[in-house]
Structure 1
Amino acid sequence: MGNIKKKKMIFLIMLFIAIFMIILAIISPLLISHDPLVTDFENVLQKPCSEYPFGTDQVGRCIYSRVIYGARVSLGTTFLLLSIVFISGLIIGTIAGMSGGIIDTIIMRIADAVLSFPDIVFAIAIVGILGPGMKNTLLALSVIWWTKYARLTRVLVMAVKDKEYIHAATMIGASNIKIITHYIFPNIISPLIVQLALDIGGMMLALAGLSFLGLGVQPPTPEWGNMLNEGRSYIQTAPWLLIYPGAAIFIVVAVFNTLGDSVRNLLDPKHI
């Protein structure tokens, strides 16, 4: 019992910190001291000071304001990507698991073909063809990551659909939609939530990495990945251009990874 209470406490603490970060991202326009897009060539590469707590960049923009405002962009795109891959994977995996036969085979062979390529390399190739930009980056990563949720959903659906209560629901005339929404989804959602929580940090890193390569969010929009890209030429003369966005990525990813681990510890019977 003591171990379970400890896990619940860790989960609640990390959940509180994660919610606090999300709230800060939402209200970020109220927390910034300068317009994150406005240049000021009289204050180029200023060291951290009272007016500019994190210093300024190569065109005089406030790093503090850009990091704070960038939280909205980085977290927003991450959760948008999570929503796309989760919903699409859930629908496709459910269709494959419920249908079986040739439909299941076709869907799984498509998933196997996508999984045969390294994730980031495939994403870079897609964005390279379509052109840089957040929409194309989201599309590229969605094309790759729906497979994980589709395969997991398919396995869970196939394990549940032959249970006695499913057959009983079928015999009393329940429609397929009702069976899926009322009987199957409630019994498979926990492992999917665990996987979703564990993927938040990885997806944020992938988005930041593509932005760092110039393929994601495009300047001058403040996003932690492209801020690192803009500041890498000044690593020796103005290291604060990299320190603060890099620290923001590290802290947020660490928090959400720890939250994902705590969710797994609570919901996965193997970790109780």
Structure 2
Amino acid sequence: MRTLQHKKIFFFVILSAAVLTILFSLIAPGFAPHDPLETDFSNVLKGPCKRYPLGTDQVGRCICSRILCGAKVSLGITFMLLGLVFVLGLILGIVAGMAGGAVDAIIMRIADIVLSFPDIIFAIAIVGMLGPGLVNTILALSVIWWTKYARLTRVLVMGAKNSEYIDAAKMAGAGTLKLITYYILPNIISPLLVQLALDIGGMMLAISGLSFLGLGIQPPTPEWGNMLSEGRSYIQTAPWLLIYPGGAIFIVVAVFNVLGDTARDILDPKYG
């Protein structure tokens, strides 16, 4: 079993890899050798070569350029969505945990109803009713993912608000807002951030999955999920259409999953 010191070193290595991945996704479009939307019907389904390092797709677009530009799209939407559901779940969880009673019951029963449906099936149903597209994808996944943060935050808040340091703060005259901001939130944020790190990979897979089914981000926007969808018809004749975007998804999801697992090991040694 690795010692805590080794775990910390490994965590900083993986954290560095994750940060570099994010930074690279921001500057990656600048390294694209071609316009990701430019078609060239004289080079349709061309294999990897000097001009097209990762080959071309069914309309002659550069796969390398689309993957590089798609990194910003895929990661950008993933972090935007996670930020949205994190804030929404945090607020509702704090309200439920602090208020208790009927308010707590209403918020948690709504969360239970949402959780009673399989995530991806519920998302497909929502996007199917509203129509495919980025906005509806964000709405569908937001409706589903806020619940875990709300429930986790509620449990943490209910445990923290009965602590002795909260009683001391109340005796010192601290109001509800000050209790939340200065005493409760700093003490519950760590497990929430670990959960956030663990969910990066899952959220990216959910976005890519909806795009793969034709319900998420629509072509010709370069996004790894819809690149897989466009390439599935050519799996035998042009396998690079699936190998490269699939490999990009695998690498990024693996990095952030390992980051979340390692962070959890450090903050809660019982998982180690």
> Structure 1-normalised TM-score?
0.98
In structure 1, C-alpha distance between the alignment counterparts of 2:14 and 2:168, rounded to whole Å: 41
1:267 aligned to 2:272? no
1:23, distance to aligned residue in structure 2 (A):
1.0
1:144 aligned to 2:144? yes
Could you list the runs of 5+ residues in structure 2 that have no partner in the other structure? none
SS in 1 for 2:113: helix
1:162 aligned to 2:162? yes
In structure 1, C-alpha distance between the alignment counterparts of 2:95 and 2:101, rounded to whole Å: 11
1:2, distance to aligned residue in structure 2 (A):
6.7
1:17, distance to aligned residue in structure 2 (A):
1.0
SS in 1 for 2:3: helix
1:37 aligned to 2:50? no
In structure 2, C-alpha distance between the alignment counterparts of 1:198 and 1:190, rounded to whole Å: 12
In structure 1, C-alpha distance between the alignment counterparts of 2:269 and 2:184, rounded to whole Å: 19
Aligned to 2:214: 214
Amino acid in structure 1 at the alignment position of 2:268: D
Cα shift readout 1:37-85 (whole Å, capped 9, x = no counterpart):
1111111111100110000001110000001110001100110111011
In structure 1, C-alpha distance between the alignment counterparts of 2:2 and 2:196, rounded to whole Å: 27
1:229 aligned to 2:229? yes
In structure 2, C-alpha distance between the alignment counterparts of 1:245 and 1:46, rounded to whole Å: 16
In structure 2, C-alpha distance between the alignment counterparts of 1:145 and 1:118, rounded to whole Å: 11
Aligned to 2:20: 20
SS in 1 for 2:58: coil
Cα shift readout 1:154-176 (whole Å, capped 9, x = no counterpart):
00000010112212212222121
In structure 1, C-alpha distance between the alignment counterparts of 2:147 and 2:56, rounded to whole Å: 42
- CA-based RMSD: 1.2
The size of the alignment, in residue pairs, is 272
Aligned to 1:133: 133
1:117 aligned to 2:126? no
In structure 2, C-alpha distance between the alignment counterparts of 1:76 and 1:2, rounded to whole Å: 34
Q: Describe how 1:241-260 pairs up with structure 2 within 5 A.
A: 241-260=241-260
Aligned to 2:59: 59
Percent identity over the alignment is 70
Aligned to 1:78: 78
Aligned to 1:48: 48
Amino acid in structure 2 at the alignment position of 1:145: W
SS in 2 for 1:205: helix
Cα shift readout 1:75-110 (whole Å, capped 9, x = no counterpart):
001101110111000000000000000000111111
1:269, distance to aligned residue in structure 2 (A):
3.8
In structure 2, C-alpha distance between the alignment counterparts of 1:44 and 1:160, rounded to whole Å: 61
Give every structure 1 segment of 4 or more consecutive aligned residues whose post-TM-superposition deviation is greater than 6 Å: none
Aligned to 2:200: 200
In structure 2, C-alpha distance between the alignment counterparts of 1:233 and 1:12, rounded to whole Å: 41
Amino acid in structure 1 at the alignment position of 2:125: A
In structure 1, C-alpha distance between the alignment counterparts of 2:43 and 2:248, rounded to whole Å: 23
> Structure 2-normalised TM-score?
0.98
1:211, distance to aligned residue in structure 2 (A):
0.4
